[in-house]
Amino acid sequence: MNSKILICEDEKNIVTLLKAELERAGYAADAAYDGEEAVRLFSERVYDLVLIDLMLPLKNGLEVLRELRKTGETPAIILTARKDTYDKVLLLKSGADDYITKPFDTLELLARIERNIERGRVGQNVSVRDLSINSESFICSVCGRPLSLTKTEFEILFFLCRSADKALPREIIAHRLYGEHVGDSNVVDVNIKNIRKKIAELSADTYIETIRGKGYVVRS
Q: Per the structure, how many domains does the chain have?
A: 2
* One domain, residues 115 and 178: no
The CATH number of residue 174's host domain is 1.10.10.10
Q: What is the CA radius of gyration of the chain?
A: 18
94 and 151 share one domain: no
Q: Does the pLDDT at position 9 exceed 90?
A: yes
Average pLDDT over residues 150-176: 83
Q: What is the predicted pLDDT for the residue at 80?
A: 85
pLDDT at residue 210, rounded to an integer: 93
Mean pLDDT of all residues belonging to the chain: 85
Does the reported pTM lie above 0.95?
no
Picking from 121, 139, 155, the residue at the C-terminal end of a domain is: 121
- pLDDT mean over 133-150: 87
* pLDDT of res. 185: 60
Question: Are residues 130 and 84 part of one domain?
Answer: no
Residues 163 and 75 in one domain: no
> Domain range spanning residue 214?
125-218
Write the DSSP assignment of 193-214 as a string of letters: HHHHHHHHTT-S---EEEETTT
Q: Tell me: do 113 and 151 sit in the same domain.
A: no
10 and 111 fall within a common domain: yes
In the chain, the percentage of residues whose pLDDT exceeds 70 is 88
DSSP calls for 27-58: -EEEEESSHHHHHHHHHHS--SEEEEETT-SS
At 83 the pLDDT is 67
| Co-location of 29 and 110 in the same domain | yes
* pLDDT tens digits for range 30-79: 999 999 999 999 888 878 899 999 999 999 999 999 998 887 778 899 99
* 135 and 108 fall within a common domain: no
Q: Are residues 33 and 142 in the same domain?
A: no
pLDDT at 36: 96
The answer to whether residues 22 and 117 belong to one domain is yes
Percent of the chain with pLDDT over 90: 37
Confidence of residue 218 (pLDDT cuts 50, 70, 90): very high
Tell me which of 88, 121, 154 is where a domain ends: 121
Give the residue from 78, 81, 98 showing the smallest Cα distance to 38: 78
pLDDT for 19 equals 94
Looking at the fold, whether 50 and 130 belong to one and the same domain comes out as no
Same domain, 89 and 197: no
